[in-house]
Chains A and B, each alone.
Chain A
Amino acid sequence: MGLPGIIVFIIILAGAIGLFAMAIRQRYLILRLGQPENRFDQIGERVKSLFVYVLGQKKVLDEAYPGLLHVLIFWGFLVLALGELQFFGEGLYPGFVLPLLGHYPAFYLIQDLFAVLVLAGVLMAAWRRYVVKPDRLERNLDAAIILSLITGVVLTLFIANGLRAAAHPAASAAAPVTAVVSYFLGKQGWSLATLNLLYYIFWWAHVLIILAFLVFIPYSKHMHLIACPFNTFFRSLNPMGKMLQPLDFEDEQATLGVRKITDFSWKHLLDLLTCTQCGRCQDNCPAYLSNAPLSSKRFINNMKEHLLECGKESSPGIAHAYAEQNESGGETGRLVESSLIGSAVAEEELWSCKTCGACQYICPVMIEHVPKNINLRRYLAMEEASYPSGVDNAIRCLEDRGHPYKGTMASRSSWFRGSWAEDLVKENNKEILFWVGCTAALDDRSMKIAQAFAALLKRSGVRFGILGEKENCCGDPARRLGNEFLYDGLVRDNINLFKKHKVKTIVTTCPHCYNAFKNEYPQTDSAFSKNYEIYHHTEYLAKLLEEKKLVIASAFTETVTYHDPCYLGRYNDIFDIPRKILQNISGLKLIEMQRNRGRSFCCGGGGGGAWMEEEGTRVNHMRAEQVFAAGAEVLCTACPFCMTMMNDGIKVKQAGQDKAVRIYDLAEILETVTQKIS
């Protein structure tokens, strides 16, 4: 290519890079609108995440077909990107060879091969989006442009390389697709000049498509190409149960929770920019699947659109303009100052979330959906005192009585009244505190969980105590419902209670209490993890079985399926312990529901769901249908909320089924099959 061609190329290249850089800078300035948050700890772990989740595509591969097609395109493009340097060079200087790589014949073979893989990936993607049409994918212009551009990149590469090979047969070694293309083009009987001209036309087409793609990236869902490595690097390294940040109530001027987009931290804004609209979250969202007014995907994308609009409004000097405005302190009526709630996000959406965490467990680009929701709920709950009906009573009751069950006819001593456990509250010097939790203490069905677990402790010879009427709510419902102030008060009261009673070890049957003690109390009292050993009863029972303090003595000949409580499984990674216990019971056949472990389906009771009226289909009814579909005789769970919700769900869905399903907590099953060790 002559000098004019090179000059034109350089101008276009510089223009494209300039446009790309401007757009990226603008996105960066948008992030600066967010609040500070430290995500620079544990650098080693963060770098490792890049290898595992970006290069290794671990989460992407959770789903076979979309995972495979993504890996083909992703790895194909990584390799092609290197090849592009050689390709650009060849067009500009005939005979150009990329240092180190360009000499090897294998280079062309690999480029050829990976281009085929990209094409295969694109065809798989197009088939899925336009023929299979899964609900979670949109057929919008964005997707069409991206798929066309990628196809264009690969096709022009093959044709240009083919033409070049036809013109200079010596250069086409060991590149099968190029060779085939070159063979057919060579048969046309074109002159060398025609072949060269056509080569330049396709070379330019290829270059322009690549550069168009580059410029298009920041404006499209393909922004994830840039943002995902950063979002993965800055991902939360905490368990899901520790992702909510506590609030500072000393600062009376601060807004409690999130009202406007800039109340979020920069990492939450980066989340929004990273979303690639794959819809995996939505596919696993119990609210969406039950036709409640929430789709986790829409939730993120509506806020993303709002954020980008805010960016446009203030462009180009967003951060500067915002700082100026802060100094003047005035409301300007600008979008960046407007409330998210009621515009980008509807109140009903926020309250439809069960905080089950399926969305973020599954998200391949590490978006943290649930903390965003809770932060918005915090604003509604604390600044507006606005709750959905049913929840207001639970909150009032928590304030007045330290439990959320308004109208209960039980007290915290109902479950052990008149039995052997009367002295539990009196004696000191106990090995463990059995923290019963509001649901197991006050709900008729769940009381049996407390009774079974207490019987197992007694059978094992463990000296345990309970707090009886002095026990409070752990605070989890208040926190999930956005009332961090109420949560904070309950936590401080409970920590004082533990200190007063010289508690060392706390065991609870409720995964919500467990998560609060394990992950959230240490946010309030930094010595909490050091001072107290926390067990969920499934962990403690496993320990008792291992120490042979409990021995399984009789069979349980039933087909059992285990329902993973969200706050035990996804929130705390306890999937295997309860399953192992069940598998060790003779006669028990453990089967899995289609949605299990990390992809388990919520019972509908989390996040305050237990006190809300649901719109659409009830989540517990859907889960009950999944239990029947699995063909289980017994549903086993390990959470009093799941027990209440699933008990109701199974009762309703029992009609018309051939066989009955009974529901037990793991402790109840163990209570029937273990014996006293003398």
Chain B
Amino acid sequence: MQIMVCLKQILDPELPPRDFRLEKGEMTPAAEGVPLVMSSFDQNALEVGLQLREKMAGATVTAVTVGPEGAEDVLRKALAVKADRAVRVPLEQDSKLSGGIVAGLLAGAARELGADLVLCGRQAGDWDGGQVGLILAEELGWPGANLVTGIEPGSGGLVLKCELDEGYEVLEGNAPLVAVVTNHETNVLRIAKVKDTMAAMRKKVEQINVAPQGGRLELASLEIPVKEVNCEIIPGEDGVEKADNLFKRLLELKVL
């Protein structure tokens, strides 16, 4: 079975909100000094793929990303945890892409690779769009399972465990299909062994060129919301004094 895992390189979502900046005059976030990381749900998808491969003889995992050359870092990470192949679909201006365009590019790659199972994270950690996986299923004309936490080989095909609000459901199906993965304690991405990391640096990243199809929705403007917070600490030694001061202050402000 050919398992294709879609990975996205994003600006570190742990960047404190107050440090978030936009490039001057452009609708892209400023990336200088901000680490670029693999989107966290994509890490879960990769782990699900690796675990499934361990249970299926002959299965391979191919990591695929859409983006500029720098995005190959996430593919190296995938190779370091022993993905069999790494493929980049070259494309600049990644951040302006709508989910639909990306899904089209990934569908092209899936066809080219002859993938049987495509795994995606449920949403990217930067824009939280949450669209690519299911649009990709639509593009390919395959069934799509959502909020998958793990996949096992079953007697008749694949058994997918999916998260519900309370509890979970189990789906059975046959490849080809698209599984949109969410995080769970069982699918935290493993840490790479050092020698595998070193070997990954020397492995080849393949390229598949797919022509982007025009999206129907385009980003028109991008602004950082301005929040004004006026915080005043009311002085006082103890609760009584503080309450007294608070009362006086509220009177001054004509709130009371």
- Residues of A in contact with B (beta carbons under 8 Å apart): 249, 252, 256, 381-385, 387, 392, 395-396, 400-402, 406-411, 413-414, 468-470, 483, 485
Contact = CB atoms under 8 A, between A and B. Distances in A.
Contacts of B166: none
Interface in B142-199: 190-195, 197-198
16 contacts: A256-B194, A256-B195, A382-B193, A382-B194, A383-B193, A383-B195, A384-B193, A385-B192, A385-B193, A396-B191, A400-B35, A400-B37, A406-B14, A414-B16, A468-B33, A470-B33
A469 B33 contact: yes
Nearest to A397: B14
B19 interface: yes
Given A249-B198, A387-B191, A411 B15 contact: yes
A479 B12 CA distance: 24
Given A385-B190, A401-B35, A410 B16 contact: yes
B19 A383 contact: no
Contact of B194 (A402, A409, A483): A483
Nearest to B15: A411
A396 to B, nearest CB: 7
Nearest to A405: B14
A409 B18 CA distance: 9
B194 A401 contact: no
Nearest to A486: B194
A321 to B, nearest CB: 29
Contacts of A409: 16
A395 B14 contact: no
A469 B16 CA distance: 12
Nearest to B34: A469
A383 B16 contact: no
B contact patch SS: loop
Nearest to A387: B191
Nearest to B77: A399
B192 to A, nearest CB: 6
A485 B19 contact: no
Contact of B198 (A252, A395, A410, A413): A252
Nearest to A249: B198
A111 B122 CA distance: 85
B192 A411 contact: no
A473 B3 CA distance: 36
Contact of B14 (A249, A385, A408): A408
Contacts of B35: 400-402
B14 A407 contact: yes
Nearest to A442: B16
Given A252-B198, A383-B194, A411 B16 contact: yes
Contacts of B197: 485
Contacts of B14: 401, 406-408
A604 B190 CA distance: 27
Contacts of A468: 33
Interface string B186-220: 00001111110110000000000000000000000
Contact of A395 (B16, B191, B195): B191
Given A385-B193, A392-B191, A400-B12, 19 more contacts: A249-B194, A256-B194, A381-B194, A382-B193, A382-B194, A382-B195, A383-B193, A384-B193, A385-B191, A385-B194, A401-B12, A401-B14, A402-B35, A408-B14, A410-B16, A411-B15, A414-B16, A469-B33, A470-B33
B229 to A, nearest CB: 14
Nearest to B43: A396
A396 B190 CA distance: 10
Contacts of B195: 252, 256, 382-383
B24 to A, nearest CB: 18
Contacts of B33: 468-470
Nearest to B36: A400
Contacts of A249: 194, 198
A675 B61 CA distance: 65
A346 B35 CA distance: 36
Contacts of B37: 400-401
A410 B19 CA distance: 9
Contacts of B12: 400-401
A402 B195 CA distance: 20
Nearest to A402: B35
A401 B15 CA distance: 10
A383 B192 CA distance: 9
Contacts of B190: 385
B254 to A, nearest CB: 30
A485 B35 CA distance: 19
A485 B191 contact: no
> Top 10 closest A-B pairs, CB basis?
A382-B194, A469-B33, A385-B191, A485-B194, A385-B193, A400-B37, A401-B35, A411-B19, A411-B16, A409-B16
Interface string B1-27: 000000000001011100100000000
A618 to B, nearest CB: 25
B22 to A, nearest CB: 17
A386 B54 CA distance: 19
Contacts of A407: 14
A402 B198 CA distance: 19
Contacts of B191: 385, 387, 392, 395-396
A330 B198 CA distance: 26
A408 B15 CA distance: 9
A400 B37 CA distance: 6
A439 B155 CA distance: 52
Contacts of A252: 195, 198
A385 B193 CA distance: 5
A8 to B, nearest CB: 63
A249 B194 CA distance: 10
Contacts of B19: 411, 413
A413 B21 CA distance: 14
Contacts of B198: 249, 252, 485
A249 B198 CA distance: 9
A580 B12 CA distance: 45
A413 B191 CA distance: 29
A409 B33 CA distance: 16
B26 to A, nearest CB: 20
A32 B16 CA distance: 55
A392 B190 CA distance: 9
Most chain B beta-carbon neighbours within 10 Å: one of A400, A408, A470: A400
Most chain A beta-carbon neighbours within 10 Å: one of B16, B33, B192, B195: B195
Contacts of B16: 408-411, 414
